[in-house]
C-alpha cells in the first residue's frame, strides 16, 4: 500500500541546489514527494545531488544570465510538464569593508542575489500561475540586521525581503503564496567563498556563535524542514511572511 506524501504531484525548482541549504532543501522536498530540479553553475555538484535520487533532476544554469534562466525554466517544464514550487536559493556572500568596495563586488552580488532571483521568478511565473504555485526566497537575518564589512551582501538580502513582501501582495489574486526564509548562521560551504582570511573567518565564526542563543551554527536540514513546510498545503494560509531560522539570534 503506497502512502500519499504531502508534495506528491508537485514539481519544484531549487536554484543553487548543488550544495548547502539548496541541496538539503532539494533532498527534503524530494523526500516529501516532489519531483525536484536543482540548478546551479557547477555540473559536478548537481550531478552528485541527482545521483541515486529517482526524483531529483538537474539543469546547469547561471541565474545571473537571463538567457540561461529562460533555458532553465523551459527545460523544467519541457521535461517535467509543470512547475509548482520555486525556491530561489542561489546566492553568494562576499565581505569587504566600505573603503574597499568596488563595482565588481557590487555587481556580482546584486546580479546573482537580486537580479537573478527576479529573472527566475518572472520567467517561472506563467507556469506557477497555472495551478496556484509557491515562491520561496532565501534571504538572511542580515537583511534586517546587517553585518559590518558585509554591507553589500546585507543590502542584497534586504532587497530579497522587500521583493517577497511585495510579490506576496501582488500575486495573491493568482493564488501564488510568496514567503521568505531568513537563515541565521548555517554550516555550509558559503563561508569559505567569502574572500576572508582563515583567521578572520574563525574570529567571525566565534563572534557569530556567541550571539546565537542556542549556542551553535544551524544545519542545512534545519532550513530545509521549514522550506518543505512552507511549500506544502500545511502553510496554505501563510504568505508575505519571513521565517527567521536562526537559533534565536534575531530575538
Q: Give catalytic residues, as residue numbers.
A: 153
Q: What is the 3-state secondary structure (H, E, C) of 177-234?
A: EEEEEEECCECCHHHHHCCCCHHHHHHHHHHHHHCCCCCCCECHHHHHHHHHHHHCHH
**Do 230 and 238 meet the contact criterion of CB atoms below 8 Å apart?**
yes
Q: Does 143 engage in binding with ligand NAP (CB under 6 A)?
A: no
Residue 93, interface with ligand NAP (CB under 6 A)? yes
SS3 assignment for 49-73: HHCCCCCEEEEECCCCCHHHHHHHH
Q: Which stretch binds ligand NAP (CB under 6 A): 4-12, 83-91, 167-175, 234-242?
A: 83-91
Is position 242 an interface residue for ligand NAP (rule: CB under 6 A)? no
Which three cell numbers, joined as nine digits, stand for 45? 555538484
Q: In whole angstroms, how close is the CB of 182 to ligand NAP at the nearest point?
A: 7
**Min separation Cβ 91 and ligand NAP, Å:** 2
Task: Return the number of other C-beta atoms located less than 10 Å from residue 36's C-beta.
Answer: 29
Contact with ligand NAP (CB under 6 A) among 55, 154, 188, 232:
188
Least distance from C-beta 92 to ligand NAP, angstroms?
Answer: 5
- The single residue among 58, 84, 91, 127 that binds ligand NAP, judged by CB under 6 A, is 91
Q: Is 92 exposed, middle or buried (0-12, 13-18, 19+ CB in 10 A)?
A: middle
Taking CB under 6 A as the criterion, the residue among 7, 13, 14, 20 binding ligand NAP is 20
Measured CA to CA, the distance from residue 76 to residue 57 in angstroms comes to 9
Which of these ranges, 76-84, 90-98, 126-134, 234-242, lies near ligand NAP under the rule CB under 6 A?
A: 90-98
Chain residues in the site for ligand NAP (CB under 6 A): 15-16, 18-22, 40-42, 45, 62-64, 89-93, 112, 116, 138, 140, 183, 185-186, 188-190, 193
Amino acid at each position: 500500500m503506497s502512502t500519499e506524501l504531502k508534495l506528491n504531484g508537485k514539481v519544484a525548482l531549487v536554484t543553487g541546489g548543488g550544495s548547502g541549504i539548496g541541496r538539503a532543501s532539494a533532498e527534503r522536498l524530494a523526500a516529501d514527494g516532489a519531483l525536484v530540479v536543482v540548478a546551479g553553475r557547477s555540473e559536478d555538484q548537481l550531478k552528485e545531488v541527482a545521483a541515486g535520487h529517482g526524483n531529483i533532476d538537474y539543469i546547469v544554469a547561471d541565474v545571473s544570465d537571463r538567457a540561461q534562466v529562460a533555458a532553465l525554466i523551459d527545460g523544467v517544464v519541457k521535461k517535467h510538464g509543470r512547475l509548482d514550487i520555486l525556491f530561489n536559493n542561489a546566492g553568494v556572500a562576499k565581505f569587504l569593508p566600505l573603503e574597499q568596495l568596488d563595482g565588481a563586488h557590487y555587481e556580482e552580488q546584486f546580479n546573482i542575489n537580486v537580479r537573478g532571483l527576479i529573472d527566475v521568478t518572472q520567467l517561472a511565473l506563467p507556469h506557477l500561475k497555472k495551478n496556484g504555485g509557491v515562491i520561496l526566497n532565501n534571504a538572511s537575518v542580515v537583511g534586517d540586521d546587517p553585518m559590518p564589512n558585509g554591507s553589500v551582501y546585507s543590502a542584497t538580502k534586504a532587497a530579497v525581503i522587500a521583493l517577497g513582501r511585495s510579490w506576496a501582495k501582488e500575486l495573491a489574486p493568482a493564488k501564488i503564496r510568496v514567503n521568505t526564509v531568513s537563515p541565521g548562521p548555517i554550516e555550509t560551504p558559503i563561508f569559505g567563498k567569502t574572500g576572508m582570511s582563515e583567521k578572520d573567518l574563525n574570529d567571525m565564526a566565534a563572534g557569530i556563535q556567541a550571539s546565537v542563543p542556542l549556542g551553535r551554527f544551524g544545519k542545512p536540514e534545519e532550513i530545509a524542514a521549514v522550506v518543505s513546510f512552507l511549500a506544502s498545503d500545511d502553510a496554505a494560509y501563510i504568505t508575505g511572511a519571513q521565517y527567521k531560522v536562526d537559533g534565536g539570534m534575531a530575538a
